[in-house]
Amino acid sequence: MNLFRSRAHHLIDRLSDEELASTWSELETLFYDLYVIKAVQASKKCHNPGDTLTREEALRLLPLIQPAPRSL
């Protein structure tokens, strides 16, 4: 892994400031996409059918969870 890290640093050092700025936005998007993919994969391993609610079920239960407004 250190080989890839040093190669990445070498490539970054050769970029101009404008190229670095445009590359950064693409790299940041890719990083967050990979983060979300890993989170989805992890949730598939620990959640079973029935552990989560559908949208309709959640909307049906929402009024029961929210406290009633207080009257003065």
Q: What are the boundaries of each domain within the chain?
A: 2-65
CA distance 34 to 25: 14
In Å, how far are 22, 23, 24, 25, 37 from 18, measured between CA atoms? 6, 9, 10, 11, 29
CA distance 2 to 8: 10
Q: pLDDT tens track of the chain, all 72 residues?
A: 789 999 989 999 999 999 999 898 899 999 999 999 999 898 888 877 777 788 898 888 888 777 766 665
Answering whether pTM is above 0.95, one says no
The confidence score (pLDDT) of residue 54 equals 85
